[in-house]
Copies of this chain bind each other. A is one copy, B any other.
Amino acid sequence: MDPKRVAKDTAVAVQNYLTYQAVRIAINQLTETNPGLAIWLRQFSAGNNFQQSEMYLEGLLKENKELGLRIMTIRQHLAEEIMEFMPEMVQTNIRQANMEHRRELLERMTQSPPIISSNPAESTHPELDANEHSD
């Protein structure tokens, strides 16, 4: 395990993801103000998987520098607004998801076959059933 490499790769992945989100936001904004340009940007961005967001921006800046600059501004703004919450959010989410997986696993491992668990008393303590019925 090399946490430094993973940290570096994760930062790049987040940068790509925020660029993708910035493009979505720009398309939404343009849909209101300039539908034609929104369609153009959607088409330009289609097929781009945003694994190479810097190359995407480089291409966009050559085609329409205002749009490129706008998306750069939006992603920087997004990073400033949301990144401070990421450590807590991600750690909490992973802890909770792991807990949930462990709970389900434990349930599966301790579960008797369905026909028994549907009425546990009947199968494990038939004598109690007999008592209940006799009361």
Which A positions have Cβ atoms within 8 angstroms of B? 1, 3, 6-15, 17-18, 21, 25, 29, 54, 57-58, 61, 65, 68-69, 72-87, 89-91, 93-95, 97-98, 101-102, 104-105
How many copies make up the complex? 2
Which of B3, B72, B86, B101 is close to A68, meaning CB atoms less than 8 Å apart?
A: B101
Which of B6, B29, B57, B98 is close to A76, meaning CB atoms less than 8 Å apart?
A: B98
**In the complex, which residues of chain B have a beta carbon less than 8 angstroms from the beta carbon of A76?**
91, 94-95, 98
Which of B57, B69, B74, B93 is close to A1, meaning CB atoms less than 8 Å apart?
A: B74
Interface of A is mostly: helix
**In the complex, which residues of chain B have a beta carbon less than 8 angstroms from the beta carbon of A18?**
6, 10, 90, 94
